[in-house]
Structure 1
Amino acid sequence: MLKVGIVGLPNAGKSTLFNALIDKPKAMVAAHPFTTIDKNIGVVNVPDETLFQLAKIEKIDKVTPTTITFVDIAGLIKGASQGEGLGNQFLHHIREVDLILHLVRFFKDEKVAHVHAKIDPEEDLAVVNEELLLADLQSLEKKSKTEKISTEQQQLINKVRDWLNQGKQASQIFLTNEEREFIKTLNLLTTKKQFLIANIGEEEINQPAKEINRQLILSVCAQL
């Protein structure tokens, strides 16, 4: 079962998107930051017509479809890796998911405050990614200091640490299969697959696709 976490800054529209994705909306939505404190969890069935057809052929009465679990995670702010806001709780919840939906705010609404008092998607994206990198650096440091590891493993940790210090995610570094198996045990946040989503306003629906740093990203209007 795939577990997908929705992350982003406070008031990016994470809970609104979460409610749109699940069958029975249950996440509270408000115009102030940190509406979500405890994570919201919703499970969605994924219909598979092939599966149903095979069940008919084999005369199987009960078919259990594939499911996706969506997790609405509390908003992150700068300094989360040092415990600011709901930092440690936020980062722990991200470690539990398989894939990250990173929601970036593009919509303008004076009634919905922005934690930086301005709409700047590039800065918002950078803040979240920086906190994930810093959290991973802390994980590597802890591994080196608190656990007994081989010289080869320490060299690999140093290699990944140097890569992260360049502002690059661990998922982008070239590793051998053996090295990847060891890195998996660390459960680094930046090794997780990440999809960027632009949360746009209703008036922007028919406008060209959004992009950040010359990268086209999927646009949604979560409130619809």
Structure 2
Amino acid sequence: RVDRLAEIYKPKKTTYATIQYVDFPAAGANFGKGEGPGGKFLNELARMDALIHVVRVFNDPAVPHPENSIDPARDIATMDLELAFADLAMIERRLERLTSEVRSMKAGERDQAVKLQGILERIKAQLEDEVPVRSQEISAEEEKLLAGSRFMTALPMLVLLNIGEEDLERREAIEAEAQEKYRATGRDVAVVAGKFEMELNDLSEEEAVEFRESAGVTESGMAGAIRLSYQLLGLISFLTSGPDECRAWTVEAGSSAPVAAGKIHSDLQRGFIRAEVVSFEDFVAAGSEAEAKKRGVLRTEGKEYVVKDGDIVNILFNV
């Protein structure tokens, strides 16, 4: 979208929204048997805002699987088990510490500690019943007591099924079947053909689009992963445009116009008066601000307006 706006405005500068991915090593043969990655690996995982579990579906003898067979359901269950082990170990440590400290606490602190013990015991029992923390009911008050606890199974997760090119025609059926199975545990599911996408990287953009269309693929694997990552994190992008700069900004979904303005500069939020807004699709169809105004698709919105993904926004303010 930024590139399309840049074609129209010819700005001095273009700035894209960014999202950082950390590629962790693939799980080995002992993963899921209580002998998985060590504490350093798990500590790094716990620092992430969300997880994408890339699961092998393709079959290629030249790339052996650690378990010597292709079984996506097994691999997903293995990851679930290892993350649950990490959460259970963390809960055990906290419970042991609370038990040793609670006797020396003052009455008020002791009451809070006892409440926390009860919450941790409940979470532990549900984890042992294979219910991840993200699927458990935890109140806002309980969240406060749990502050500082980084549960691995609480992290938003996308299961990304890596299929072979021979399965491209079946990708929608594969995705639908997996979504039905795994969405109950609070995860989304998507399909990507990694090798197919890698081969397209050697082509021009026009050739890559043509090959994708011939295979019935509507967007690149990278574009799809980024879009789904934003959904997973509850984020959207809005845009600002002009001759100086065309830029994408990231904000939480459901944010009001003043909050979005604050992402640009705190003065814009503090002195917010109103916002001029047009959707990206309407603006591109119009081709210019003047034509957008003429068509009536460029409108004025106040403080209560909820910014939508793809909105092009101009903030009017006074401080």
TM-score where L is the length of structure 1 = 0.67
Q: Shift of residue 92 of structure 1? A: 1.9
Identity %: 26
Q: Is the 8 A contact 1:73 1:93 kept in 2?
A: no
Q: SS of the residue aligned with 1:70?
A: coil
**Is 2:147 aligned against 1:181?**
no
Whichever structure has more helix as a proportion of its residues is 2
Verify: 1:141 aligned to 2:104, yes or no: no
SS at match of 2:146: helix
- Judged with a 3 Å threshold, the aligned counterparts in structure 2 of structure 1 residues 196 and 86 are, in CA distance, closer, same or farther, namely same
Q: Which runs of 5+ in 1 are unaligned?
A: 1-46
Aligned counterpart for 1:191 among listed residues 138, 154, 159: 154
Q: How does 1:69-148 map to 2 (within 5 A)?
A: 69-77=20-28, 80=31, 84=35, 86-147=37-98, 148=101
CA distance in 1, matches of 2:147, 2:27: 24
Shift of the alpha carbon at 1:67?
1.4
User: How many angstroms apart in 1 are the aligned matches of 2:169 and 2:33?
Assistant: 40
Work out the CA distance in 1 between the residues paired with 2:129 and 2:13.
Answer: 52
Contact 2:83 2:153 in 1 (8 A): yes
In the alignment of these two chains, the number of paired residues is 172
Give secondary structure in 1 for the equivalent of 2:20.
strand
- Where relative contact order (Cα < 8 A, 6+ residues apart) is larger, the structure is 1
Alpha-carbon spacing, 1:129–1:83, altered in 2? closer, same or farther (3 Å): closer
Q: Distance in 1 between matches of 2:28 and 2:131?
A: 20
> Superposition RMSD on alpha carbons, in Å?
2.9
Q: Flag structure 2 segments of 5+ consecutive residues without an equivalent.
A: 103-112, 183-188, 198-319
Match of residue 12 from structure 1: none
Cα separation, 1, equivalents of 2:31 and 2:56: 19
Partner secondary structure for residue 206 of structure 1: helix
Give the letter for the 1:220 counterpart.
V
Partner residue, 2:287: none
The whole-number CA distance in structure 1 between the counterparts of 2:168 and 2:129 is 36
Contact between 2:34 and 2:82, CA under 8 Å: does it hold in 1?
no
2:120 corresponding residue in structure 1: 157
Q: CA deviation at 1:139?
A: 0.6
Q: Deviations over 1:65-85 (max 9, x none)?
A: 431000001223465578735
